Structure 1
Amino acid sequence: MASITLKDLGVALGAPLFSDLTLSIAAGDRLGIVAANGRGKSTLLRCIAGTLDPTTGDITRSRGLRVGHVEQEIPAALAAIPFRDAVRGALPADLAGSEGWRVDLVLDGLAVPEALRDRPIAALSGGWQRLAMLARASVTDPDVLLLDEPTNHLDLARIAQLEGWINALPREVPVVIASHDRAFLDATTNRTLFLRPERSVVFALFYARARAALAEADAAEARRYQKDMKTAQQLRRQAAKLNNIGINSGSDLLTVKTSQLRQRAERLEDAARPAHQERSAGTIRLSNRGTHAKVLITLADAPVTTPDGTLLLRTGKRFIHQGDRIVLLGRNGVGKSRLVALIRAAIEAPDMTGDAVKATPSLVLGHSDQALSGLADRDTPLATLCRRFPLGEQRAHALLAGAGIAIEKQSAPIGRLSGGQKARLAMLVLRLTEPNFHLLDEPTNHLDIDGQEALEAELMAQEASCLLVSHDRSFVRAVGNRFWLIENRRLTEVDGPEDFFAAVAEVAG
């Protein structure tokens, strides 16, 4: 029996986010929800959780159903509360004392170190904050679990751990996951809902297969529409020809026949449904000014250290060539970020880095980090572009609109933009910089799947030279053509990322 049933559900915020959605969520379901940034995934989860009323339609929940909902944002009220107490606070007041043992059981299941359990939520990393919210939902022993972008801020080890945790849940507990992480969806779901303003589509398949099935269904619908419209045009031409003959001959029969043909054409046109056209959340384009240099960066057994001088690794003799798309692999804390910072310094301030790291003088750097630190929250998108680049306001407005930032948001503080809009603004700045070498730290953070695929396509089409760090396995597999692994304080080149991914998953399991 279904735990939750949605019938003709719709939410409109000016324009419809989704409409006429009919869906059942039952035991055994691991449902992935896929849509572009700002297209209703979080809204749908809130409707299912009962914290938001839909505009139209009905939701039926089994009697006494307990819903665990992990939202994207951390409630401000929890910031100063220790991890363990924040989880305990999710229990009903009458159970917090007698059932407190559940808290440590959940924290043990999520491998939360003892040292973190008494630390305030605000003092935790973004990844541990996400797991704290997951623990709060889990401790209530929910009948249905709703997860909104659960892999945000998680490293590969924590993502693998989360996958294992979800897959170990009792099958009678349905899980609904809104996510842009394609590999995570493939590993944890068995159904996929493509949420659309009209005619949302669900497949009893994990994401990769569902995406292929969706493409086939959309193509078939486009062919049907074109066929129906062609038939309608033929009927109208026949009607027009008969109408002329009927007028000249005065035949009532031909007049009736003309009317019948027109009615058939109208019925076909009314029933024909154009294939779904996804509205772009904003274009992503890159540029590559090129360089004649074959070797872009030389690492001469460079030492990579912490700020206090502790050695993290030595690079050995390494070269970055034009056209290399190098993925930097390694667990947290091994020195990936410090190596990226060292290479950045060698490009931007070569006199300060010595001979251990040398960049060709013709390099122009395009840099983006996961915190999007190059964008100031108090600045505006329009001012950011006009100050950095010789564009003029009219051109800047057009570029921002193309990147998915509406005119009313172009002069508002960047801090008010969504994560997806900030990411697209960062990509626009990167494009206008016209680099010939990219340093990209978690570039797919906050990008929806269309944005991720657009970034992948641009890096390939522009033949961009880059060094990148990413926890997005699908992105790494699609983009990388060389792979450097940091392990045991050494930087080594490996054939691909799969052995590293498997090793991380094995330890997490």
Structure 2
Amino acid sequence: MSVSCRELISQAFPDIDQEISDYVNSVLDDGGDDFETSDDLYEAIGIMLQQADESKSEEDMKQICDRLHCLLHSNQPETAINGNNKILDAPVQLSALADGRESESTNDHSIWMVKRDNSSIVDQKKLEKADKKIQKKLGKREQTTIKKVESVPEMASASQQISKRDVKMDASGSNKSYDIKLENIDISYGDKVLLQGADLHLVWGRRYGFTGRNGLGKTTLLKMISSGELRIPSHISVLHVEQEVEGDETPAIQSVLQCDEKREKLLQEEKDLNAQLSSSSAGQDNSLSSRLHEVYKELEAMEADKAPAKAAMILNGLGYTSTDQLRPTKEFSGGWRMRLALARALFTRPDLLLLDEPTNMLDMKAIIWLENYLQNWPTTIFVVSHDRLFLDAVSTDIIHLHSYQLDSYRGNYEVFHKTREERLKNQRKEYEAQKQYRDHIQVFIDRFRYNANRAAQVQSKLKLLEKLPELKPVEKETEVVIKFQDCDKLSPPILQLDDMTFYYSKEKILFNKVCVNANMDSRICIVGDNGAGKTTLLKLLLAELEPCSGHRHAHRNLRIGYFSQHHVDQLDMGVHSVQLLANRFPGQGQEVYRNQLGSFGVSGDLALRPVSSLSGGQKSRVAFAVMSMTNPNFFILDEPTNHLDMETIEALGEALNKFKGGVILVSHDERLIRKICKELWVVSKGVVTSLDGGIDEYKQLVEKELESH
């Protein structure tokens, strides 16, 4: 684009906004050749220029676009402007040409000469270019732009389709809708396709549960949205609870309050103004007091005085006591700092809240509180969760990821499950009916293909087959497999703690005279608040910790398989799963390692992929394979459902029910607890209590406690 175009815009619109100016200039720079007429140019930039100076009429805008169009095409050859007409320098005698008597002196530029001017020969490349321009002009109103990026998480790349209208509205700030519509999304991770031509539509104020098998790309999609790789309107604020809060000297409650940057800025300004007023002269007081009054009004309008109470309420619901809220963030573990990140998100209330497995870091009390809190959430939520009951309580809609597509369903997870089963059932019926109809026609064709008397009918049937819609079988998701090996039966007593007392410091006794026991048919679930000592109790049962008093008794042939919360993080990420087992348990054949991994659904190429490239759920299955390699006869599982999808959790429940040994697990997944547990231990205030009423009795106790707060 010549400089004169920029000068013309700046002269015609002296007060033009810089963003609009940059946008218009970039359009002229990049697409000048695409505007064949001034009307095309007006359609592209006229609306934007109108916003820069509303005093100008539509006719004024068209005149400016005419001048810009002339400037853009001022460098074309003169023949392009004046046309392609040729002027004959001398008369031509047709009879002389016919007789071959045309003089050699005839003007070389005559259009009748056998040796024609090269300009009359069609340039195939120019013809193709012109054809493309015509096609582009015909589809101009539906024209879209493609944004393609290949940056975010590791090898992930994404592209989407964005309409020009949306780009213009976003650039001009005229888009006031808080709905989010992502169209024709393609996402891949290295060579693996995750989404292909998928559409995602999130309506403002609705709560979307995001489900699908492990490894299909749910977390990657959330990262693409939060990082801006998938474009959403710029006025919509997005917050993705992904990383834990960095530990420092900041108290937990202050860390939450600092999220409201506007409030913090106004409070700091109030403090500075008061300091200036105390040391200023009388002449300055009026201006400072006036500004201070405005600051007070803004703080009052945003109810800044209620912010500490709101932050304290959120922290309390997530398990932080009044004392904890005043502790520096560096004193909390990673799990508690993740809770703090969740608290900051809930306090900030972004327009779009992205949550990835928020229940993984919470105990049952905090999950129940979060369910109740999110039911009144005013903006849009997009949450990945494999906790079926959590999605039932929170979701107004379900987005289901499968076959590289995103299917939307109205209602919670229970409604989605029924609707999807009914839909699959109808699709199978439709497929079978169409297949039967096709087979019937094909039988007729095969029977009378060579019968001359039936030739017309056969042709008719062939045409009918061609017109039928493409026959696609219903894709059935592969069944998740988890299978624990049979183990030896042991006679009781198997595992017990007698009058066990334990503490890290005498000032704070964690357990006092605890008596518990488990046998080969035990299915025990341990519940309680985070920090009550559930994991410590497991370590005492494992003999990783020694009781301060009392005794631990275990059968001499007892082999315990232990799955810890951090088992997945401790896997060697630099090798594939088969090599991982070979390193841990050398001396076996590769077939043994593959069979072991296959028992937990890690088979085929998946077993040869680097562990680092597996999803959280797939890593958990590898961890189960490692745990079970020694053929244990008793399982102690600490939060085994973290990162597992619903189908895998169901398969885990079935496998634990079939397992011949004993099971003790810590879990907050209510569905799994109901599926397998025969006994419930509650850890609270230094004692371990067995509840006869099971999970229902415990939930009633928790809800009463929440109501009292």
Category of TM-score, reference length = shorter chain = 0.7 to 0.9
Asked if the contact 1:439–1:468 (Cα under 8 Å) also holds between the matched residues in 2, the reply is yes
Change (3 A) 1:88 1:107: closer
> Counterpart of 2:265?
97
The one-letter code of the counterpart of 1:98 is L
> Counterpart of 2:130?
none
The one-letter code of the counterpart of 2:567 is L
- Aligned-pair distance for 1:319? 3.6
Asked if the contact 1:287–1:432 (Cα under 8 Å) also holds between the matched residues in 2, the reply is no
What runs of 5+ residues in structure 2 fail to find an aligned partner? 1-175, 269-303
> Counterpart of 1:312?
511
> Counterpart of 2:472?
273
Asked if the contact 2:563–2:638 (Cα under 8 Å) also holds between the matched residues in 1, the reply is yes
Asked if the contact 1:232–1:264 (Cα under 8 Å) also holds between the matched residues in 2, the reply is no
Change (3 A) 1:458 1:265: farther
Asked if the contact 1:68–1:138 (Cα under 8 Å) also holds between the matched residues in 2, the reply is no
Aligned counterpart in structure 2 of residue 108 of structure 1, from 289, 303, 312: 312
- Aligned-pair distance for 1:29? 1.4
Q: In structure 1, how many angstroms separate the alpha carbons of the residues matched to 2:545 and 2:266?
A: 60
Tell me: higher relative CO, structure 1 or 2? Use CA pairs within 8 A at least 6 residues apart: 1
The one-letter code of the counterpart of 1:255 is A
1:137 aligns with 2:367: no
The worse-fitting range, judged by mean Cα deviation, of 66-75 and 28-37 is 66-75
Q: In structure 2, how many angstroms separate the alpha carbons of the residues matched to 1:374 and 1:97?
A: 39
Q: Spell out, residue by residue over 1:324-377, the C-alpha distance to the aligned partner (whole angstroms, 9 max, x if none).
A: 2111222233332232222212xx999x99983322223221111111179444
Q: Structure 2 matches for 1:121-160, cutoff 5 A?
A: 121=329, 123-160=331-368
Q: In structure 1, how many angstroms separate the alpha carbons of the residues matched to 2:658 and 2:607?
A: 30
- Aligned-pair distance for 1:437? 0.9
Asked if the contact 2:561–2:635 (Cα under 8 Å) also holds between the matched residues in 1, the reply is yes
- Aligned-pair distance for 1:315? 2.9
Q: In structure 1, how many angstroms separate the alpha carbons of the residues matched to 2:510 and 2:264?
A: 46
Q: Spell out, residue by residue over 1:388-413, the C-alpha distance to the aligned partner (whole angstroms, 9 max, x if none).
A: 2643234425654774377587585x
> Counterpart of 2:536?
338
Q: Matched residue of 1:445: which SS?
A: coil
- Aligned-pair distance for 1:505? 3.5
Change (3 A) 1:114 1:324: closer
How many residues are aligned here? 483
- Aligned-pair distance for 1:88? 5.6
- Aligned-pair distance for 1:456? 0.8
Q: In structure 2, how many angstroms separate the alpha carbons of the residues matched to 1:259 and 1:293?
A: 77
1:67 aligns with 2:237: yes
> Counterpart of 1:385?
581
Q: In structure 2, how many angstroms separate the alpha carbons of the residues matched to 1:85 and 1:353?
A: 38
> Counterpart of 1:241?
447
- Aligned-pair distance for 1:217? 1.6
> Counterpart of 2:407?
201
Q: Matched residue of 1:212: which SS?
A: helix
Aligned counterpart in structure 1 of residue 462 of structure 2, from 258, 262, 266: 262
What TM-score, normalized to structure 2? 0.61
Q: In structure 2, how many angstroms separate the alpha carbons of the residues matched to 1:322 and 1:444?
A: 22
1:4 aligns with 2:172: no
Structure with greater proportional helix content: 2
> Counterpart of 2:217?
40
> Counterpart of 1:364?
559
Asked if the contact 2:449–2:458 (Cα under 8 Å) also holds between the matched residues in 1, the reply is yes
Q: Spell out, residue by residue over 1:106-141, the C-alpha distance to the aligned partner (whole angstroms, 9 max, x if none).
A: 522312556555766554334432333234434444
Q: In structure 2, how many angstroms separate the alpha carbons of the residues matched to 1:464 and 1:260?
A: 66
The one-letter code of the counterpart of 1:339 is L
Aligned counterpart in structure 2 of residue 223 of structure 1, from 400, 420, 429: 429
- Aligned-pair distance for 1:295? 4.2
Aligned counterpart in structure 1 of residue 700 of structure 2, from 474, 488, 502: 502
Change (3 A) 1:88 1:488: closer
- Aligned-pair distance for 1:238? 1.5
Change (3 A) 1:485 1:131: closer
- Aligned-pair distance for 1:502? 2.8
The CA RMSD measured in Å over matched residues stands at 3.5
Asked if the contact 2:500–2:549 (Cα under 8 Å) also holds between the matched residues in 1, the reply is no
Q: Matched residue of 1:151: which SS?
A: helix
Q: In structure 2, how many angstroms separate the alpha carbons of the residues matched to 1:434 and 1:354?
A: 32
Q: Spell out, residue by residue over 1:257-294, the C-alpha distance to the aligned partner (whole angstroms, 9 max, x if none).
A: 223323433444x43332233357x7432223131425
> Counterpart of 1:481?
678
- Aligned-pair distance for 1:442? 0.6
> Counterpart of 1:448?
645
Change (3 A) 1:435 1:198: same
What runs of 5+ residues in structure 1 fail to find an aligned partner? none
Q: Which of 1 and 2 has greater Rg?
A: 2
- Aligned-pair distance for 1:480? 0.6
> Counterpart of 2:491?
293
Q: In structure 2, how many angstroms separate the alpha carbons of the residues matched to 1:376 and 1:33?
A: 27
Asked if the contact 2:399–2:406 (Cα under 8 Å) also holds between the matched residues in 1, the reply is yes
Q: In structure 2, how many angstroms separate the alpha carbons of the residues matched to 1:374 and 1:188?
A: 29
Q: Spell out, residue by residue over 1:96-115, the C-alpha distance to the aligned partner (whole angstroms, 9 max, x if none).
A: 41168486355223125565
Q: Matched residue of 2:358: which SS?
A: coil
> Counterpart of 1:174?
380
Q: In structure 2, how many angstroms separate the alpha carbons of the residues matched to 1:356 and 1:341?
A: 14
Q: Spell out, residue by residue over 1:411-464, the C-alpha distance to the aligned partner (whole angstroms, 9 max, x if none).
A: 85x566542232111111233221211111111112121221111111112344
Give identity over the alignment, percent.
25
The one-letter code of the counterpart of 2:578 is L
Change (3 A) 1:420 1:265: same
The one-letter code of the counterpart of 1:169 is W
The one-letter code of the counterpart of 2:581 is L
- Aligned-pair distance for 1:48? 4.7
The one-letter code of the counterpart of 2:464 is R
Asked if the contact 2:256–2:347 (Cα under 8 Å) also holds between the matched residues in 1, the reply is yes
Change (3 A) 1:479 1:126: farther
Asked if the contact 1:297–1:320 (Cα under 8 Å) also holds between the matched residues in 2, the reply is yes
